[in-house]
Every structure is written in structure tokens, then in C-alpha cells.
Amino acid sequence: MRRGYGAHPAHLVLLLAGLLLAVMAGSELLAERPRDVGLWFAGAAVLHDAAFVPVYLAADALLVALWRRRPGRVPWLNFVRIPLAVSGILLVVYAAEILRLSDGAFAHKTGRSDAGYVGHWLGVSAALAAIAAVWYAVRWRATRPRPD
Amino acid sequence: MHAYRGDVTETLRERLKPGNRWPVGDPPPGPFRPGFWRSPIRGPWLTAVLGAILLVGLPIMFVTGLLSYLAYNPGLPGNDTKGPGDLLTFVLFDWPTNPYWLYRFTQGLHVTLGVVLVPVLLAKLWSVIPKLFEWPPVRSPAHALERLSLFVLVGGGIFTFATGLLNIQYWYTIPGSFYRLHYYGAWVFTAGVVVHVALKFPTMRRSLRDRRLREELTVDLAHTEPESYIEHGLASPAPAAPTISRRGALGLVGAGSATLFVATAGQTIGGAFRRVSLLAPRGGYAVGDGPNDFAVNISAADARVDLAAAGGRWRLEVAGDRPGVAASFSRADLLALPQHTAHLPIACVEGWAVPNQRWEGVRLRDLARLAGVDDPGSVYVESLQQEGQFSRGRLAGNQIAHPDSLLALRVNGADLSLDHGYPARIIVPNNPGVRNTKWVHRLTFERRS
């Protein structure tokens, strides 16, 4: 069993039980508009690895390359990298609002416009950048070489 | 052609014989080679820490999500929000009316925690990328099943989080009913999580024991060492020089979660915090101080309320189980009945809440008595709104019986505004917002069966 299957029989029982539950839920999930829902599900499975990863790895590689050219006395890389990353995460979570994708439904449902969210996002990102800048300045001062 | 196919079959048959190894070859260049992934902090420890956070967070998501499903009393005819699916349908208990703030708490927790967990989820996915490009793609039947379960896990996870995030932002692009997709998507995700935790829990525990969190948090960039490479593991065989420490990476995730918390939670907690939550769909603004200035889920215009019917000629029909109308009341008639005051919030499935408002109106149990049903099992509530899934629905007997359950006519000392349900609306403690039906025009009290 172990040689043919590649793991302990309990592994097979666990996997089959789990996949049975997934098939039960999946059959209801796909009961209406199976093509569209299936596409959404498959898209969800690859969204991070195929869409997000190439973008953020390339951006990060670029940032690291820039930093290596002028690393600074106090390395500045993570003081830029972290606020940028958090800003990107905010955009991912609240993309529908910030990019106003709801096609008017936001205003209909809330009675308010979603036009302000791009500004809010930029404002929060700027605040994060300011915190990082202050932190960096403190580090800079704390590690200043003494004249003597 | 035939020879080729026969060849492949022959090879596969040979390879599938017990004891023989699955076909192994050199991985193609690129991400399939382990040396392509060079992060020195990627490894079992970081994955285990992120996994442990999710292991606490996801069960809370599951329980609060299931509670939200039950809060609609899906056992009452027509109330099941996800539609008539039979599988994985549970009605465990009547949804309670005490404490009155429970749904506000559980659903606020569900949505806020879901938002706050996104950075952890993304970091977890980053930490295991090399696994996606494992070579050979399938090593054994066991490995094939495991990879299939990972498709269920990752697909179900992102699907469930995405449907939730899109719904709270009113981007109704998902292919079908939110309730249905989110509910069954979450069950698919749960299946993936259960299998994954069962398989990986020992590894997680070992990794967390090998490298203590408290000690690791003292390690700065200069002292950050890569974890040792193991075949089919997470650590890189050719780690680059570190550019961030492990504590720095966890700090990034923490900064993301903390920012999302501040930017979101105010829409649930309310007060001055609401203004600070700049990215919350129901935050980042100051609520006016008029009696009807609190938020609505749907306006009268969007609900396509028949304005003529809601005007001066409006009458509330209250029926019992006998055929025909038991009683009919004008708004003045209702105001002449004993009035009761209740201080109750409105909590939406979308995670935002309106804090306690002072509602005045007629107790539902008094109306039941007027309809000749002393101990109703349920009431069928019908609204003048012509749009939306919630224009009609049922409340359970315990909800009718609660002394704070009202057909409200006034709020905060003023008449209800049209958007808040004028001429009359339901308000019931611990009831999901949309079940506090607005623009009510008929109540049919049903006897316990």
C-alpha cells in the first residue's frame, strides 16, 4: 500500500474524506451557472501565484536593485519596502472601492459616493510613508558617527 | 505515432509498478528549479508562524460565518438566504434574541477579522510558492491527491475571501447570489483547511519548537540565517543575502493587518472611530446628529417602494391563521395602541453597524394577540419594497415574544424617515439588519405547528 500509493493508508482515508466534503459543497456551488462559478474558482486558485506574485516580485527586485546602488549609511530599503507593501495590500483588499468598480451600486446602497476612497487610500499610504520616514530619521540620528 | 503512444504507456506501466519510482527528470529551467527561489527567510518556521495565526483566525471565521447563516432562521419557510441547496444545510437552534448585540459582535468580528487576515493569507501563500512549482509535478498517487486538496484549499480560500470582500464593497460582479457562493465556497475551503491542517500540523509544531518565536524576534538582519535546505521543502538551496529579517517580514504582515484594522473596524465599533476608518465602506465620515441620520442598507428609491401605498392611504394588515384580514390599522390607529420604547442597534451582514437607536412602536406580541394568535410560531412579514431578496421573510416565535421586538413607528423622538422604513418597520433584538424589514404593510402570524 505504502509503496504503491506513496503514503500511509490513513493519508488516503483523510484525503478521500476531505475531497468528498469538497465535492459535496462544490456540487452546490456549481449548481447554478457552473461555467462562470468554475472559472471564478479556478481563477481564485491562481490569482495570487499567477497574477500577484510576478508583479510584486518584480517590483521588489527593482527596489532591491535600486537600493544596492545606494544603500545609504542606514539601509533605507525596508523603510520604503514596508509602507509600499502595506499600501499595495490596502489596494488589493479595497480595490473595488478605490478603483470605483461597483458601477454605481456603492452610491445606491450607501447613499454616499465612492469617489473619496482613492484619496483616502493615498492619504493612508502617505501617513504610512511619514511614519517610516520619522522612524528612519530616528535611526539615522541614533547611529550618527561621533565626531571624536 | 502508435509506437510512440505504446512507448509512453509502456513506460507509465513500468513506472506505476509497485516499488518503482514515478517518472523523474530534470526540472525545466525557471521556477521549477529549487534554486530559482532564493529568499533566505523562506522556510518551515515562517510558514509555521503564519499557519498558526490562520489556525486561530480561520476557525473564528468559520464559526461566525455559520452563526450569520443561522441568524436568518433558515429553517423557516423561504428564509434560507443561500437558496434551496440541500447539502450542508443545518438548522441547529432558533436564533436567540439575547444578548441584543450578539449579531453586531459576531458579524463585526467576521468581517473585520476577514479583512485583517488578508495580509497573513497573502504572506502564507508567498511562503509556500516553491511548492507550486514542485518537480516532478506528481511523485505518487498520494502526492497527486495532496496537490488536488491544495487546489481546493487555495481556490476555496481566495474564492471565499474575494466574494466577501467584493460584497462589502458592493461590487456585484460575482456569478450568482453572494449568500450562496460565500456559503458553499466556505465549505469547500473548510474541506481544504481540515485536510491541510491534519497533514501539516506535526510539521508546524516541530518548526515552531525548533526556533522559538520570542528568540527569533530578537534576531536582526545582520544575524538572519537561512533555514537548511531539504528536498521538497520550503527553504532555498541557494539562499541570497538577506534583505529583511524574519521579524521584519512578520512586522510587514503585522503592519498590514494593523492598518487594515484601523481602516476598517470603525464601521462596526462606531463613535469617533468611524471617522478614522477611512477605507471602511461605511466609515471615514461623520454621522449627522438628526434623529434619522444613521445609515441605511437600502434607500426607499432603490428598494422601489410604492410611494403612493406608503402615503396617507397606507394601512397595516394584521392577519392570523384564519382566512381573510383579521384587522387593518392606519398609522394613527397604531400610534393609539400601547407604545413601547427599545434601544437597539442595526447590524448588517456586511459587518457595519448602527449603534443603539431609540425606537418607539407597537410590540409584535401585542399585534399577534390582536390577530388572535396568542403563541405564534412565526410571523410572515411583507414589505412595500418591490426590489430585493428581503422584501418578505419570516421571524420566529422567540423573536415575536421578546418585549423589545417592535413594529417601530418612530425613532429618536421623530417619525421614521422614508428611507428608514416609514410608515412602519420591524426592529428585533439581535436580528440581522435586513430582517428588520422596512415599509411593512402586512403581518401574518402563524400558529406553532
Sign of the four-CA dihedral A70, A74, A77, A79: negative
Give B359-395 pLDDT, tens digit per residue.
999 999 999 999 999 899 999 999 999 877 889 999 9
Tell me how far apart the alpha carbons of residues A13 and B90 are, in angstroms, rounded to a whole number: 25
| Total residues belonging to chain A | 148
Region B120-141 average pLDDT: 95
Give B37-47 pLDDT, tens digit per residue.
999 999 999 99
CB B243 to CB A111 under 8 A?
no
Tell me how far apart the alpha carbons of residues A20 and A28 are, in angstroms, rounded to a whole number: 13
**pLDDT at B19 (0 to 100):** 57
Sign of the four-CA dihedral B390, B393, B397, B400: positive
Give B47-90 pLDDT, tens digit per residue.
999 999 999 999 999 999 999 999 999 999 999 988 876 788 87
Residue B324 pLDDT > 80, yes or no? no
Give B244-293 pLDDT, tens digit per residue.
999 999 999 999 999 999 999 999 999 899 999 999 999 999 888 899 99
Nearest to A102 among B143, B169, B296 (CB): B169
Residue with grid cell 391563521, as numbered in its chain? B321
**pLDDT at B4 (0 to 100):** 45
**pLDDT at B24 (0 to 100):** 59
Task: State the pLDDT confidence band at A146, using cuts at 50, 70 and 90.
Answer: confident
Residue B9 pLDDT > 80, yes or no? no
> Which phi and psi angles does B339 have, rounded to 5°?
-100, 145
Which DSSP string do the residues of B40-68 spell out, in sequence order? Answer: TT-SHHHHHHHHHHHHHHHHHHHHHHHHH
Nearest to A82 among B155, B181, B252 (CB): B252
Average pLDDT over all residues of chain B:
92
Residue B1 pLDDT > 50, yes or no? no
**pLDDT at B13 (0 to 100):** 61
Residue B8 pLDDT > 80, yes or no? no
Contacts of B185 in chain A (CB under 8 A): 25, 29, 41
CB B166 to CB A96 under 8 A?
yes
Region B400-422 average pLDDT: 97
Q: Which of B199, B207, B202 is nearest to B230 (CA)?
A: B207
Burial code (b: 16+ CB inside 10 Å, e: under 16) for B343-382 equals ebbbbbbbbbbbbebebbbbbbbebbebbebeebbbbbbb
CB B170 to CB A123 under 8 A?
no
Residue with grid cell 510558514, as numbered in its chain? B47
Q: Which of B109, B9, B18 is nearest to B61 (CA)?
A: B109
**pLDDT at B323 (0 to 100):** 72
Give A37-56 pLDDT, tens digit per residue.
999 999 999 999 999 999 99
What pTM value is reported for the model? Answer: 0.93
Q: How far apart are the first and last CA of chain A?
A: 74
CB B139 to CB A6 under 8 A?
yes
Nearest CA in chain B to A9: B142
CB A25 to CB B125 under 8 A?
no
**pLDDT at B311 (0 to 100):** 87
Burial code (b: 16+ CB inside 10 Å, e: under 16) for B394-418 equals bbbbbbbebebbbbbbbbeeebbbb
CB A49 to CB B174 under 8 A?
no
A59 near B CB under 8 A: no
Tell me how far apart the alpha carbons of residues B73 and B52 are, in angstroms, rounded to a whole number: 33
**pLDDT at B386 (0 to 100):** 86
Nearest to A6 among B142, B165, B260 (CB): B142
Greater confidence, B12 or A93? A93
Nearest to B148 among A19, A39, A121 (CB): A19
Region B160-166 average pLDDT: 98
**Cis before B136 (ω within 30):** yes
Task: State the pLDDT confidence band at B202, using cuts at 50, 70 and 90.
Answer: very high
Q: Considering only A11-15, A57-61, B96-100, B269-273, which range has the smallest mean pLDDT? A: B269-273
CB A44 to CB B87 under 8 A?
no
Greater confidence, A57 or B16? A57
Contacts of A113 in chain B (CB under 8 A): none
SS (H, E, C) A12-52: HHHHHHHHHHHHHHHHHHCCCCHHHHHHHHHHHHHHHHHHH
CB B173 to CB A101 under 8 A?
yes
Residues in contact with B71: Cβ distance below 8 Å, sequence separation at least 6, in sequence order? B95, B103, B106, B107, B430, B431, B432, B435
**pLDDT at B12 (0 to 100):** 55
Contact status, residue B358 vs residue B341, Cβ threshold 8 Å = yes
User: What percentage of residues in chain B have a pLDDT greater than 70?
Assistant: 94
**pLDDT at B333 (0 to 100):** 96
Tell me how far apart the alpha carbons of residues A94 and A89 are, in angstroms, rounded to a whole number: 9
Residue A86 pLDDT > 70, yes or no? yes
**pLDDT at B5 (0 to 100):** 46
* Cell, residue A48: 495570487
Region B188-203 average pLDDT: 98
> Choosing among A11, A41, A53, A68, which should be mutated to test the B contact, i.e. which has the most B CBs within 10 A?
A41
- The one-character DSSP state at B420 is G
- The one-character DSSP state at B284 is S
- The one-character DSSP state at B385 is B
Tell me how far apart the alpha carbons of residues B310 and A120 are, in angstroms, rounded to a whole number: 39
CB A96 to CB B115 under 8 A?
no
Task: State the pLDDT confidence band at B2, using cuts at 50, 70 and 90.
Answer: very low
Give whole-number Cα distances, A76 to A44, A133, B116, B249, in Å: 35, 9, 27, 15
**pLDDT at B14 (0 to 100):** 60
- The one-character DSSP state at B414 is E
Q: What SS3 class is residue B23?
A: coil
Burial of B250 (0-12, 13-18, 19+ CB in 10 A): buried
Tell me how far apart the alpha carbons of residues A81 and B251 are, in angstroms, rounded to a whole number: 12
Question: Nearest CA of chain A to the CA of B87: how many Å?
Answer: 7
Widest CA span of chain B, in angstroms? Answer: 93
Region B154-174 average pLDDT: 97
Residue B325 pLDDT > 90, yes or no? no
Region B83-106 average pLDDT: 89
